[in-house]
Amino acid sequence: MNIKRKLAKALAFIFIANSIFTMKSIQAEAADYWPSGVDVVAESAIVMEEETGTILYSKNMDDVHYPASITKIMTALIVLENCDLDETVTFSAEAVYGTELGSSSIARDVGEEMTVEQTLYGMMLESANECAYALGEHVAGDMDSFVDMMNAKAKELGCKNTHFNNSNGLPDEEHYTSAYDMALISRAAYKIPKFAEIVGTKNYTIPATNKHSDPTPLNNHHQMLHYYKTNQYLYEYCLGGKTGYTVVAGATLVTYAKKDGMTLVCVVMKDTTTDEYTDTTNLFEYCFDNFSKYAVADFASISEDDVNVTGILSENSELIKVDEDGIIVIPKTASILDVTSTVVPYSDSEDSSVIGQLQYSYADKSVGYANLIFTNAETAGSYPFDNIPVENGGSGKEYIQVDYPKIGLVILIILAVICLIMFIRSKSSEILLFRHRFMSRHQRPQKTNMTIIRDNGKRRKRRR
């Protein structure tokens, strides 16, 4: 990006920050209310809205627990970020025999070959531990290196209480996480379309391989999505997820569900067997009943005068645009007028057009965001910003418009006047001399008729 564009972006952000930070927050007449009337058996739980990361419900969400096989969500995330689906995975002796005897498996053999896609299905649907091990080796070369990648990714995602020590989730004192951290990982993974497709698949068949002449049928073990052992826990809005269980971890479960256009991620940890499904269903129902999602485009400008009543820019701004794909999630009892916003600048972004973010809050909770998009400053003629009217809690300042062509014309006129003044000063001595000669010539005494007669008389006497 050239210097001119950087300066333009800096100038744009100065305008927007100054405009927004001077606005008064709109205060709700009613007290802020956050629903909290549900509880679960699980020792830790969280429900997070998938698009915004808004936490709708939490119970001991930062407590550390063993994750068991929901670990494989992180494994799948790293694999999908680093591999093509048609790459060949070869099962090593460590992958086949290095996992706990009797743990989840699809009975692969040493030297067996499958594609990355087939191995992912084996890992996510049947929770096959040898598939998780083989994928880790395929990505990083050895398990220690893959574990390093897992922990680096956890840190990148903002996990605070996580340390991985294997790719499958088998018991290990150095392998732990929290409900909040797993929600972050699960949310990031679900943004990958292939991951969403895999965890939402009920049945899959691995074709014959170099070691198995018969196809291998797979069934999704998540009982809210698929009739695996019983249909008792089927949930119509379930999109899929990942199960987990060990004696020390208890039941762990990650589930995705969507209703009325809102996708939620639920994590329960240290739960009792089958209660993980009941807890998750109850949490989903409570959150779907008590929260709503709003698009920024629906509330960015709602007054008759196109006034921004929520603390963001007017739709008329040509230099900065608020990304209309941004959303907020708030309780159904709340109004969009109760939401406040804060500008957070970006010092670095993969998308050069994004220069900041409007982060929305309600009841001291983060409820969503919208990116601030930098438009083409070279083609924009004017950059208007407006403030909130007094009746809506704002400053009441009038609409401000900066018209650069007119400003340029004024500057040219001023420069022309300055140049004229300097020219006149440089010629001042010549002007004064000209004025003196002019005045002298016109102020010399004129001869009267009597003077002329005397002069003529004197000339005659001299001639005599």
Please compute the mean of the pLDDT values over residues 307-323 and round it to a whole number.
52
Measured CA to CA in angstroms, residue 371 lies from 154, 342, 343, 344 at distances of 24, 12, 10, 10
242 is in an annotated binding site: yes
Please compute the mean of the pLDDT values over residues 349-371 and round it to a whole number.
83
Per-residue pLDDT at 308 exceeds 50: no
Contacts of 265 (CB under 8 A, 6+ apart): 47, 48, 49, 50, 183, 186, 187, 190, 254, 255, 256
How confident is the model at residue 76, as a pLDDT? 98
Q: Give the C-alpha separation, 319 to 379, whole Å.
A: 9
Active-site position among 9, 59, 72, 153: 72
Handedness of CA 310, 314, 320, 324 (dihedral sign): positive
How confident is the model at residue 383, as a pLDDT? 39
Q: pLDDT, tens digit, for every residue of 386-427? A: 444 544 444 454 544 555 666 777 788 888 888 888 777 776
Q: Give the C-alpha separation, 76 to 63, whole Å.
A: 24
Q: Which residues pair with 273 in a beta bridge?
A: none
Q: pLDDT, tens digit, for every residue of 266-279? A: 999 999 999 999 99
How confident is the model at residue 322, as a pLDDT? 80
Q: Which pair of structure tokens corresponds to residue 11?
A: 């100038």
Helix, strand, coil percentages (3-state) for the chain, rounded to 5, are: 40, 20, 40
The type of residue at 367 is V
Per-residue pLDDT at 443 exceeds 60: no
Q: Which pair of structure tokens corresponds to residue 358?
A: 């409007």
Q: Which pair of structure tokens corresponds to residue 360?
A: 């929305």
The candidate with the shortest Cα–Cα distance to 254, out of 153, 203, 179, 164, is 179
Q: Which pair of structure tokens corresponds to residue 383?
A: 């950059």
Find the farthest-apart pair of alpha carbons in the chain and give their distance in angstroms, rounded: 160
Please compute the mean of the pLDDT values over residues 248-271 and round it to a whole number.
97
Exposed, middle or buried by CB within 10 Å (0-12, 13-18, 19+), for 103? middle
Is 127 marked active-site?
A: yes
Percent of all residues in the chain with a pLDDT value above 70, rounded to a whole number: 72
How confident is the model at residue 321, as a pLDDT? 76
Confidence of residue 123 (pLDDT cuts 50, 70, 90): very high
Q: Give the C-alpha separation, 71 to 177, whole Å.
A: 9
More confident residue, 213 or 428: 213
Percent of all residues in the chain with a pLDDT value above 90, rounded to a whole number: 56
Please compute the mean of the pLDDT values over residues 374-387 and round it to a whole number.
48
Please compute the mean of the pLDDT values over residues 445-453 and round it to a whole number.
51
How confident is the model at residue 103, as a pLDDT? 81
Is 69 marked active-site?
A: yes
Residue with tokens 């807890």: 279
Per-residue pLDDT at 20 exceeds 50: no
Active-site position among 69, 314, 317, 361: 69
Q: Give the C-alpha separation, 350 to 345, whole Å.
A: 14
More confident residue, 59 or 359: 59
Fold classification of 44-271 is Beta-lactamase (3.40.710)
How confident is the model at residue 442, as a pLDDT? 59
CB atoms < 10 A from the CB of 17, how many? 14
More confident residue, 372 or 96: 96
More confident residue, 380 or 91: 91
Q: Which pair of structure tokens corresponds to residue 133?
A: 């091990």
Q: Give the C-alpha separation, 241 to 254, whole Å.
A: 5
Contacts of 295 (CB under 8 A, 6+ apart): 324, 325, 326, 327
Least confident stretch, 21-30, 154-163, 211-220, 437-446 = 21-30
Confidence of residue 348 (pLDDT cuts 50, 70, 90): low
How confident is the model at residue 390, as a pLDDT? 46
Domain boundaries, the chain: 44-271, 405-463
Active-site position among 44, 127, 167, 186: 127
Please compute the mean of the pLDDT values over residues 14-28 and round it to a whole number.
42
Q: pLDDT, tens digit, for every residue of 28-85? A: 344 578 988 899 999 999 999 999 999 999 999 999 999 999 999 999 999 999 999 9
Is 19 marked active-site?
A: no
How confident is the model at residue 382, as a pLDDT? 41
The candidate with the shortest Cα–Cα distance to 224, out of 255, 195, 198, is 255
The DSSP result for 119-139, as a single string, is HHHHHHHS--HHHHHHHHHHH
Assign 321 to helix, strand or coil: strand
Q: Could you give phi then psi for residue 367, rounded to 5 degrees?
A: -125, 5
